[in-house]
Amino acid sequence: MWFKRKKGGNNRKERKDVEMIHVTVEDMRIAVNTYANQLDSDVSLRTIIKDNHEIDNEPLTDFLGGRPDRSFYMAKETFEIFEDPEYPKWIDLCQIACDQYFLETGEEPVLAGDPARKLNYLKVKDYLKEKPPFDLYLHSHDRMVTHRMPENK
């Protein structure tokens, strides 16, 4: 039995009438969170993150009210959103390195007594090819890597 296939290949409908709008990082965070809340529990938020960490804007146009005028990037491990494409790459690499270090040693890769919990690159050097060009920190509650230095309380 032979089935006819529709020409065109891609089943996704392109929206040609979507207006390009100015979007801030905070606007994108709100749209991604709203989108994530309506996803089925068996669908990962990673489905909107391209291989180069760029966020696929197509599913977010309804939540944003248009198409963003520039690209945004998201870390696949921590889901943090950035305007700079380098940040999510480094955060993902370091998050994987920290997770591996913790699994093998049972310790967090930070210096004991460091209130900022700055990532100690000497401890994870075997899991990274090179040191990131900026400082990273380990969140105290969930061991997630972040570029934000914790505030002193």
pLDDT at 4 (0 to 100)? 56
Residues 42 and 64 grouped into a single domain: yes
| 7 is a domain residue | no
56-78 confidence digits (pLDDT tens): 999 999 999 999 999 999 999 99
Beta strands 67-68; 20-21: pairing state = parallel
Beta strands 73-74; 81-82: pairing state = antiparallel
Specify the number of domains making up the chain.
Answer: 2
Residues 68 and 113 grouped into a single domain: no
pLDDT at 16 (0 to 100)? 63
| 137 is a domain residue | yes
Please list the ranges in the chain whose pLDDT falls under 50: 8-11
Helix, strand counts (H, E) of the chain? 4, 6
Q: Which residues constitute the domain of residue 48?
A: 22-74
Q: Where would I find the beta strands (DSSP E) of the chain?
A: 20-21, 67-68, 73-74, 81-82, 137-138, 145-146
| 115 is a domain residue | yes
Q: Can you tell me whether residue 23 is helix, strand or coil?
A: coil
Lookup: tokens for 10 = 């891609």
pLDDT at 141 (0 to 100)? 85
Residues 136 and 112 grouped into a single domain: yes
Lookup: tokens for 152 = 């002193």
The domain boundary residue, chosen from 35, 50, 74: 74
Residues 142 and 91 grouped into a single domain: yes
Residue 146 per-residue DSSP state:
E
pLDDT at 80 (0 to 100)? 94
Q: Rounded to the nearest 5 degrees, what angle is found at the Cα of 133, between the Cα atoms of 146 and 71?
A: 65
